[in-house]
């Protein structure tokens, strides 16, 4: 998945955005070694904040992947994995098909936080027998946090994917064809950018209905314009290069020129910049979910967990911080996640020098 922020392996499209002086790295070793010793990577490695960001993001990715093994799923999840009470540990067994189902074809029921009782009052770790306590209605906070990171990556990766697809479609068309088509498409893009993202997403989720899929559609619908701008800018730059003129002159159709010749050389830096958006996309998703416009009740999702905490700000008389764990843990996890992506994004945008308004 794109939790790995490395440059795409082929060619050196990233290099193409660097000043001419930087574009000649030593031609020793394979692409990995070349990439590692490239000037932009050296700049990246020297930046301590970027390294901290990288560590945070990688840690979240590991947690997201390992979540099934680190938590005990609910009974309905086990049922959907085809496990019985006798074989309940099967999802941790590498030789059991249930393990692979849990990893790659996770049933939706496994994303539901298991409930430790149905008490309307949050329970601390000691009395509930869970690691970090429960929210109101008995949802296990630890399970929610770990599986929430899975949800976060799922939302982030899928939304960036859809957004990129739309952005490339619009941006490449506008940039390559130019003229009035360019004008119309880009003005439309400007208009979508002009509407506050949360408001537009609010309208879309309301119209489509609450679910995690609709949440992703809504966020992708507000995320694509910035990619469209980036793609258009890069296409405008690449389209003037000689080999493109060459391809055109031997009679390649426009679609072929764009897909085979222009995009492969324009897309590298954009892919990276877009994947670094995962932080802010997860943030928007959590915000909508906090407002009650996210996945269904009980789905492991950080925004929803924070909204559970809203009613438990005040403790009982004499113990003002009695329910601190309901807001502290989900909040901390979101902050760390966004922080990691922001640090990483900052460093990479510096290194790649990609700007929106080309």
Partner 1 sequence: MFTFIARRLVMLPIVFFGVTVIIVLLMQLLTPAQRAAAYIRSENQANQIPQIIQQYRLDEPWYVQYGLWLQRLSEGDWGYSRTTNEPVLTTLQKRFPTTAELALLAILPVIGVGIFLGTAAALNRDGFIDQFVRVLSIFGWSIPTFVMGIWLLVIFYGLLGWFEPGRISTEYVVQIAQGGFQRYTGMMTIDAMLNGRFDIALDALRHLVLPVITLATVQSAQIMRVMRSSLLDALSEDYVRTARAKGLQTTVVNRKHARRNALIPVITLSGFVMIGLINGVVITETIFNYPGLGQWAAQAALSLDYASVLGFAVFTAVVVVIANLLVDVLYGVIDPRIRYA
CB closer to partner 1, 273 vs 287: 287
CB closer to partner 1, 33 vs 206: 206
CB closer to partner 1, 36 vs 324: 324
CB 353 within 8 A of CB 268: no
Residues binding partner 1: what is the number (CB under 8 A)?
49
Q: What residues are paired with 115 via a beta bridge?
A: 139
Taking CB under 8 A as the criterion, the residue among 23, 62, 165, 203 binding partner 1 is 203
**Window 177-196: residues binding partner 1 (CB under 8 A):** 187-188, 190-192, 194-196
Stretch that binds partner 1, among 67-75, 87-95, 101-109, 313-321 (CB under 8 A): 313-321
**Phi (first) and psi of residue 130, to 5 degrees:** -105, 170
Based on the shown chain and the rule CB under 8 A, indicate whether residue 321 belongs to the binding site for partner 1.
yes
CB closer to partner 1, 73 vs 279: 279
Taking the complex as a whole, how short is the minimal distance between the CB of residue 135 and partner 1, in angstroms?
13
Query: Of 218, 217, 263, 256, whose CA–CA distance to 236 is shortest?
Result: 263
242-259 in b/e form (b: 16+ CB < 10 A) is: eebeebeeeeeeeeebbe
The rounded distance, in Å, linking the Cα atoms of 80 and 88 is 12
**Phi (first) and psi of residue 293, to 5 degrees:** -110, 30
Taking the complex as a whole, how short is the minimal distance between the CB of residue 67 and partner 1, in angstroms?
21
CB 72 within 8 A of CB 144: no
**Window 271-300: residues binding partner 1 (CB under 8 A):** 283, 286-287, 290-293
Cβ atoms within 10 Å, residue 30: 9
Stretch that binds partner 1, among 9-17, 237-245, 263-271, 341-349 (CB under 8 A): 341-349
Structure tokens at 75: 């009974």
Taking the complex as a whole, how short is the minimal distance between the CB of residue 161 and partner 1, in angstroms?
22
Based on the shown chain and the rule CB under 8 A, indicate whether residue 132 belongs to the binding site for partner 1.
no
The rounded distance, in Å, linking the Cα atoms of 41 and 352 is 10
The rounded distance, in Å, linking the Cα atoms of 301 and 295 is 8
Taking the complex as a whole, how short is the minimal distance between the CB of residue 194 and partner 1, in angstroms?
5
Task: Calculate the CA 302 to chain-centre distance.
Answer: 14
- Please report, as ranges, the residues that interact with partner 1 according to CB under 8 A: 49, 187-188, 190-192, 194-200, 202-208, 283, 286-287, 290-293, 303, 306-307, 309-310, 313-315, 320-321, 324, 327-328, 330-331, 334-335, 338-339, 342-343, 346
């Amino acid at each position: 998945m794109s939790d790995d922020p490395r440059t795409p392996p082929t060619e050196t499209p990233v290099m193409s955005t660097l000043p001419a002086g930087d574009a000649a790295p030593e031609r020793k070793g394979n692409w990995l070694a070349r990439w590692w010793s490239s000037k932009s990577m050296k700049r990246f490695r020297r930046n301590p904040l970027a390294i901290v960001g990288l560590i945070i993001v990688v840690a979240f990715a590991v947690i997201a992947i390992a979540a099934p093994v680190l938590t005990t799923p609910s009974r309905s999840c086990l049922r959907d994995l085809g496990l019985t009470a006798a074989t309940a540990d099967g999802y941790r067994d590498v030789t059991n098909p249930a393990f692979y189902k849990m990893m790659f074809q996770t049933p939706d029921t496994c994303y539901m936080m298991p409930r430790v009782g149905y008490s309307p009052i949050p329970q601390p770790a000691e009395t509930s027998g869970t690691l970090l306590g429960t929210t109101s209605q008995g949802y296990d906070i630890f399970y929610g946090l770990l599986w929430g990171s899975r949800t976060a990556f799922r939302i982030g990766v899928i939304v960036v994917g859809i957004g990129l697809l739309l952005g490339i479609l619009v941006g490449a068309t506008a940039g390559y064809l130019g003229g009035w088509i360019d004008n119309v498409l880009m003005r439309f893009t400007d208009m979508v950018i002009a509407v506050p993202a949360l408001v537009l997403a609010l309208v879309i989720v309301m119209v489509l209905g609450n679910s995690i899929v609709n949440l992703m559609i809504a966020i992708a619908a507000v995320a694509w314009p910035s990619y469209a701008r980036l793609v258009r800018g890069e296409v405008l730059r690449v389209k003037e290069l000689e080999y493109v003129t060459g391809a055109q002159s031997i009679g390649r159709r426009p679609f072929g020129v764009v897909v085979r010749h222009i995009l492969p050389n324009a897309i590298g830096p954009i892919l990276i910049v877009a994947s670094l958006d995962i932080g802010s996309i997860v943030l928007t998703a959590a915000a909508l979910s906090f407002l009650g416009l996210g996945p269904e009740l009980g789905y492991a999702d950080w925004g929803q967990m924070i909204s559970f905490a809203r009613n438990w700000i005040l403790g009982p008389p004499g113990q003002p911080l009695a329910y601190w764990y309901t807001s502290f843990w989900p909040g901390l996890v979101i902050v760390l996640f966004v922080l990691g992506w922001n640090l990483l994004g900052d460093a990479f945008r510096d290194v790649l020098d990609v700007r929106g308004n080309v």
